[in-house]
Copies of this chain bind each other. A is one copy, B any other.
Amino acid sequence: MALIVQKFGGTSVADLDRIRNVANKVKKEIELGNKVAVVVSAMSGVTDQLVGWVKQISPLNSQAALEEYDTVVSSGEQVTSGLLALTLNEMGIPARSWLGWQIPLISDDAHSKARIGEIKSKNILESINSGVVAVMAGFQGVDANGRISTLGRGGSDTSAVALAASINADRCDIYTDVDGIYTCDPRIVTKARKLDKITYEEILEMASQGAKVLQTRSVEMAMNHRVRVQVLSSFNDKPGTLLVDEEEIVERRRVTGIAYSRDEARITLTEVANIPGVSAAIFAPLADANINVDMIVQNVTEGGKETDVTFTVPRGDLANAIALVEKTRDQIRYKTLHCDKTVAKISVIGVGMRSHVGIAKEMFETLAAKGINILVISTSEIKISVLIAEEYMELALRALHTTYGLDYE
């Protein structure tokens, strides 16, 4: 007998029929002899409506306002947890809803994006062990003052993983509207394959590189607490993708997946003074303005007195970033500032890179063979990212997918 946490997102509980479908998924686990805790999101669209009302009233720039935001917005999960528990009871499966404050799931008081402190799981675990399915409202907790908190958008994934860690569940199944994690976006690369397994490190790189299936925070939590997470579809019965430790990946593939992001803009400063403190002068004001600088490349020019600096920022922040850089011109004495919004970032990801050589070389050769120019390169231990012209993005993804042997046969 195993203890399973199942998490269902907004599209999976969008109406009463789909809630019945979810109840049937729970029933299957029960019939396998397992004990089950379920975590649910709000019906799809409900949270958006509630957030919309709140934002019409307030710019949410005070603690008092954010506390009310959480009171309002958390109601969506309250409804679905009650409806699912009711549906299970009607099917003859004892179940009860658990709101964040009832467990309690204690968070800090950073309302609207609170972080989980502790789940006091004694009562919920006793209830589960007595044969009652626990249906936990996702996305919500309670702060030390007894005010409802929410964990930020997508926070139900984090709720589920945190619960699984807290009750030492054997598996945490995250049901979504996709079948699992793919080697690449199947809408672009038709030969993309669903992965049976992926490591936590890889999915973190995939997620931060633009493949948004799981909330990053939930993966970090799963990694830290070694929770076995499975991503699978609530609309079919196929197995999904299991998040595992690196040791569990038997097949030592070189590359696991390819991610992309169109949300990039490039800024290049030429002939910047090559003196200490220049990097700080450029990047400190951007950091202060909460502009997330991603790739950074610096080339020393002939003679070594000047350097070219290229970096990327989110497209929406480009105008703001340029204005901040221009303010530092007296200090860093660059000659020209170029910018480009029509770029895309492509990342090849895989823990296999640690033991396989030549992956970067293959990447550069593949892109060269298609006549694609590389603008910026950055690497980490399990990832190689390149910035290219956006118009070549799909072509590059398909070519690389073939190069690394990822194509579906």
Contacts and interface: CB of A to CB of B under 8 A. Distances in A.
A83 interface: yes
Given A69-B82, A75-B78, A57 B96 contact: no
Interface residues of A, number: 39
Given A78-B75, A86-B58, A90-B58, A96 B64 contact: yes
Interface of A: 16, 19, 50, 53-54, 56-58, 62, 64-65, 67-69, 71-72, 74-76, 78-79, 81-83, 85-87, 89-90, 94-97, 99, 101-102, 146-148
A147 B62 CA distance: 31
A89 to B, nearest CB: 5
Contacts of A90: 57-58, 65
Nearest to A71: B82
Most-contacted residue by chain B among A67, A86, A101, A147 (CB, 10 A): A86
Query: Copies of this chain, how many?
Result: 2
Contacts of A148: 99
Given A79-B72, A96-B64, A99-B71, A86 B54 contact: yes
Contacts of A79: 50, 72, 75
Contacts of A146: 102
A86 B69 contact: yes
Contacts of A99: 71, 148
A72 B65 contact: no
A66 to B, nearest CB: 10
A275 B136 CA distance: 61
